[in-house]
Amino acid sequence: MGKSVISKVVPRAYHDSVRLMQVSKELSNLDSVQRTFVAMGTHSNKRVLEQIGLLTDAVKDAGANDLIFVVEAKSKAIGENALARAEILLSDGGKDTLKNNKERLPQSFGQAYKVFQDANMLFVSVPGPYAALEAAKALNMNMNVMLFSDNVSLKDELKLKMIAKQKELLLMGPGCGTAIINGIALGFANVLDRGSVGVVGASGTGTQEFTTLLNRMGVGVSQVIGVGGRDLTDTIGGIMMKQGINMLASDPSTELIVLISKPPSTNVIPKIMEEAQASGKPIVVNFLGWKPSQKFENLYFTETIEDTAEAVLSIVKKSTDPFFVTKTSALLEMAYNERARFSKDQKYIRGLFSGGSLCDEAIDVFRRYSLEIYSNVETSKKW
Report which listed range, 86-95, 305-314, 366-375, is most confident: 305-314
pLDDT at 24 exceeding the cut of 50: yes
Higher-confidence residue: 108 or 160?
160
**105 lies in a domain?**
no
The per-residue pLDDT for 64 is 87
Tell me, yes or no, whether 171 and 248 share the same domain: yes
pLDDT at 16 exceeding the cut of 80: no
Per-position DSSP letters for 28-80, written without gaps between them? HTSTTEEEEEEEE--HHHHHHHHHTT---HHHHT--TTSEEEEEEESSHHHHH
Tell me, yes or no, whether 80 and 162 share the same domain: no
Beta strands 33-40 and 4-10, pairing class: unpaired
**348 lies in a domain?**
no
Mean predicted lDDT score pLDDT of the chain? 90
Final residue of a structural domain among 316, 349, 378: 316
**195 lies in a domain?**
yes
Please give the C-alpha separations between residue 170 and each of 145, 149, 233, 242, 257, in angstroms, as whole numbers.
Answer: 6, 15, 18, 11, 17
Nearest to 283 by CA among 265, 303, 315, 257: 257
Tell me, yes or no, whether 144 and 86 share the same domain: no
Task: Assign 2 a pLDDT band (cuts: 50, 70, 90).
Answer: low
Tell me, yes or no, whether 251 and 136 share the same domain: yes
- What is the CB neighbour count within 10 angstroms for residue 236? 21
Predicted TM-score (pTM) of the model is 0.82
Q: Each residue of 311-346: pLDDT tens digit?
A: 999 999 887 888 887 778 888 999 899 989 998 888
Q: Each residue of 238-280: pLDDT tens digit?
A: 999 999 999 999 999 999 999 999 889 999 999 999 999 999 9
CATH of the domain at 89: 3.30.1360
Contacts of 322 (CB under 8 A, 6+ apart): 310
**275 lies in a domain?**
yes
Domains in the chain: how many in total?
Answer: 2
Q: Each residue of 185-231: pLDDT tens digit?
A: 999 889 999 999 999 999 999 999 999 999 999 999 999 999 999 99
Give the structural domain span for 256. Answer: 121-316
CATH of the domain at 185: 3.40.50.261
Q: Is 234 exposed, middle or buried (0-12, 13-18, 19+ CB in 10 A)?
A: exposed
Tell me, yes or no, whether 129 and 219 share the same domain: yes
Final residue of a structural domain among 316, 342, 363: 316
Least confident of 104-108, 150-154, 317-321: 104-108
